[in-house]
Structure 1
Amino acid sequence: MTQALPLRNIRIIVFTMGWAGPLATRHLADMGAEVIKIESCTHMDWWRGWENTPEMIAAREYEKQPIFNITNRNKLGLKFDLKLPKGRDLALRFVERGMQ
C-alpha cells in the first residue's frame, strides 16, 4: 500500500533561482506539492549555465545542466519575457489563476 504524499493538494508558484529557493521548493515538490517555476526567458536561472548564443539555444543546452535538473526536480516550469509588459501581465495572470 502506498502512502499519499502530504502536500498533494498544494500548489506553489515560484520565481526563485540559486540555492535556497530551488532547494526549499524541491523538498515541497518531493512531498507532493505542485510546484510551478516561472522564469524570464531573457534572464533564466543561473544554474542552467547557459549562454545566449544561437548554438546553445539550438542545442537546448540550458535544459541539460545537472545542477539545474537536480535542484528543480518534480517541478513544472514556464518562461515569460518578464521585461515586456505583456510577459509580466501573463505571469501575473497565471499566478492569480494558480492561487484559486
Structure 2
Amino acid sequence: MAESSDASALSEWVTAVVRELGIEDALEREGVVDMVLDLTSDVAHGVSRPGAPVTAFLVGVAAGRASDPAVAARDYAGKISALADGWGSDSERGAPAGDQSRRA
C-alpha cells in the first residue's frame, strides 16, 4: 500500500516540477522517472550514494544541450549506467568518458 502511495506522490511531484519549470513539451513523460531512478540506483550502488543525484543533474545538463534532449538523456543515462557498472573493476572501461571522437 505504501508503494502505491509513494508512486502517486512521486507522480504528483514530477507533474508539479515539470509545470513549474515550464518543460511540459520538452520531454516524454513515459519512462523518464524509471530511467532516472535506474541511473541513480546504478551510480549509488556502483560508485557513490551522494554521486547519484549529482550524476542525474549532470546528465540533465548534458541532455539539455543536445538537439534532441529526450533522446540524448536516454543515451547518456545508458552510457553512464554502464560506466557505473564497471566502476572500480580492473577491466578496461572502453573509451574514456571525455573522448568525444569515440562517441556515436
Query: Which one has more relative contact order, counting CA pairs under 8 Å at least 6 apart?
Result: 1
Specify which structure has the higher proportion of strand.
Answer: 1
Tell me the TM-score normalized by structure 2.
Answer: 0.22
Specify which structure has the higher proportion of helix.
Answer: 2
Tell me the TM-score normalized by structure 1.
Answer: 0.23
